[in-house]
């Protein structure tokens, strides 16, 4: 029996970019002391108070079918959070609760792309982006950024391929680079979207992790609210990765369509998880600050560890929980360097090529292990890089 072309072509027929990670996990499972600087998983767990709220809701009986769009309480809470942060009037009619940010990305592309439509996205990109686009039957079109521009997208480059496309996916603060798109960049992107009638899908799951600069949601830019879908999640802001709780914020008519899609796919998100999410958001920004604090601190550790040498250089670490390191001075590709580092030092990093060709010659380091181990890993990484030159 033959599987569908869509399901077999999700990764485009090649690697999904996670080969080094899988090898590191195999080594770790075999008992080797591998230091993992790979995936964006907090080194703290979900706060006990949030888990208690989840347990209380479940024991209280909120274990049956929940409303498909999300509970009114959670949709209202998310809407108020977005309105307070962006100044854009937002109500529950603009919010669809999803099973995490990944499901929100998939649903958003389903909402705006038909079979065979061209869907643009920025390179470097989070590893699932092209597969998500292929999964809805659209054609992924990468827009390369450049290290010399600190990976800020150039609107004229986007405009050159925008004609006839249906959507553009952006991510700021960015995974994998840690870069925050500045106002000029976003104004330029908004202009391209308006002039080419593009839907803008803005992945903002790291919007609480801002270390240098200002996060601007493009939905707040002039004439963009009616053509922008914003992806949000509690995975990164509240260390709730396993709870799978996120949302899409967009025009009410889009949300109506997404409700229909969810009815025929996930049929909503468990009510007790939604109640825990409502509780978490209502604890205020202090909780988000506490969750992000280790990464802000490790950003400073990264800058310190790389000082005084030029073999390994950091792309400006403006937000999120990652550092993108330029290792081109070694003469190695990101993939070759990551594999060699894993063999020599048992330190696992993600090759820049895992996130597209724009980050070739780079590696991504997740700042997700304790300070002492992280500092030791960076010191050994730099020493190893020096041996490669």
- CA 41-44-46 angle, 5° bins: 90
Are the beta carbons of 255 and 248 closer than 8 angstroms?
yes
Domain carrying residue 170: 49-283
Report the pLDDT value the prediction gives residue 11, as an integer from 0 to 100: 84
- Number of folded domains in the chain? 2
- Distance (Å, rounded) from C-alpha 60 to C-alpha 170? 40
Q: What is the pLDDT along the chain (389 residues), one digit of tens a residue?
A: 999 988 998 988 656 568 889 999 999 999 999 999 998 899 999 999 999 999 999 999 999 999 999 999 999 999 999 999 999 999 999 999 999 999 999 999 999 999 999 999 999 999 999 999 999 999 999 999 999 999 999 999 999 999 999 999 999 999 999 999 999 999 999 999 999 999 999 999 999 999 999 999 999 999 999 999 999 999 999 999 999 999 999 999 999 999 999 999 999 999 999 999 999 999 999 999 999 999 999 999 999 999 999 999 999 999 999 999 999 999 999 999 999 999 999 999 999 999 999 999 999 999 999 999 999 999 999 999 999 98
- Distance (Å, rounded) from C-alpha 266 to C-alpha 60? 23
Give the phi and the psi of residue 263 in degrees, each rounded to 5: -60, -30
Residue 149, domain CATH: 3.40.640.10
Q: Is 160 exposed, middle or buried (0-12, 13-18, 19+ CB in 10 A)?
A: exposed
Report the pLDDT value the prediction gives residue 18, as an integer from 0 to 100: 80
- Distance (Å, rounded) from C-alpha 82 to C-alpha 339? 41
Give the pairing type, strands 139-144 and 118-123.
parallel
Answer yes or no: do 311 and 347 share one domain: yes
Report the pLDDT value the prediction gives residue 13, as an integer from 0 to 100: 66
Answer yes or no: do 266 and 309 share one domain: no
Which residues make Cβ contacts (< 8 Å) with residue 209, sequence separation at least 6?
Answer: 173, 236, 237, 292, 295, 296, 319, 320, 321
Phi-psi region of 272 (alpha: psi -120 to 50; beta: other; left: phi over 0): alpha
Answer yes or no: do 298 and 243 share one domain: no
Answer yes or no: do 274 and 328 share one domain: no
Report the pLDDT value the prediction gives residue 17, as an integer from 0 to 100: 65
Report the pLDDT value the prediction gives residue 266, as an integer from 0 to 100: 94
- 309-350 pLDDT tens trace: 999 999 999 999 999 999 999 999 999 999 999 999 999 999
Are the beta carbons of 189 and 171 closer than 8 angstroms?
no
The last residue of one of the domains, among 283, 313, 332, is: 283
Residue 369, domain CATH: 3.90.1150.10
The tokens for 103 are: 């499901």
Answer yes or no: do 64 and 207 share one domain: yes
The last residue of one of the domains, among 283, 308, 323, is: 283
Give the pairing type, strands 313-314 and 322-326.
antiparallel
Which residues make Cβ contacts (< 8 Å) with residue 68, sequence separation at least 6?
Answer: 259, 262, 263, 267, 268
- Distance (Å, rounded) from C-alpha 161 to C-alpha 153? 13
Answer yes or no: do 149 and 298 share one domain: no
Answer yes or no: do 346 and 334 share one domain: yes
- Distance (Å, rounded) from C-alpha 277 to C-alpha 76? 12
pTM reported for the whole predicted model: 0.96
């Amino acid at each position: 029996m033959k599987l569908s072309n869509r399901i077999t072509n999700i990764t485009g027929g090649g690697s999904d970019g996670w080969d080094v990670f899988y090898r590191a996990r195999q080594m770790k499972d075999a008992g080797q002391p591998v230091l993992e600087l790979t995936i964006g998983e907090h080194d703290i767990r979900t706060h006990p108070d949030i888990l208690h709220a989840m347990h209380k809701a479940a024991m209280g009986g909120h274990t049956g079918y929940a409303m498909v769009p999300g509970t009114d309480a959670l949709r209202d809470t998310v809407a108020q959070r977005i309105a307070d942060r962006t100044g854009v009037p937002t109500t529950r009619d603009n919010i669809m609760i999803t099973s995490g940010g990944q499901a929100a990305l998939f649903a958003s592309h389903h909402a705006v792309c038909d079979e065979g439509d061209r869907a643009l996205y920025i390179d470097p990109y989070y590893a699932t982006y092209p597969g998500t686009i292929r999964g809805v039957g659209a054609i992924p079109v990468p827009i390369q950024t450049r290290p010399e521009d600190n990976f800020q997208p150039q609107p004229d480059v986007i405009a050159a391929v925008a004609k006839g496309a249906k959507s553009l996916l952006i991510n700021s603060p960015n995974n994998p680079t840690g870069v925050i798109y500045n106002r000029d960049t976003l104004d330029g992107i908004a202009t391209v979207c308006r002039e080419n009638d593009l839907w803008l899908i803005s992945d903002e799951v790291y919007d609480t992790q801002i270390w240098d600069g200002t996060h601007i949601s493009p939905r707040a830019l002039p004439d963009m609210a009616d053509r922008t879908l914003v992806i949000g999640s509690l995975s990164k802001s509240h260390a709730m990765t396993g709870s799978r709780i996120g949302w899409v914020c967009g025009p009410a008519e889009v949300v109506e369509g997404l409700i229909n899609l969810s009815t025929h796919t996930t049929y909503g998100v468990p009510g007790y998880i939604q109640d825990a999410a409502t509780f978490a958001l209502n604890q205020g920004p202090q909780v988000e600050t506490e969750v992000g604090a280790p990464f802000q601190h490790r950003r400073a550790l990264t800058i310190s560890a790389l000082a005084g040498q030029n073999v390994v250089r950091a792309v400006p670490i403006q937000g999120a929980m990652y550092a993108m390191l330029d290792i081109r001075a070694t003469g190695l590709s990101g993939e070759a360097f990551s594999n060699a580092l894993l063999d020599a030092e048992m330190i696992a990093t993600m090759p820049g090529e895992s996130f597209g060709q724009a980050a070739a010659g780079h590696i991504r380091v997740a700042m997700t292990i304790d300070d002492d181990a992280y500092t030791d890993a960076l010191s050994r990484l730099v020493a190893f890089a020096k041996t490669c030159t």
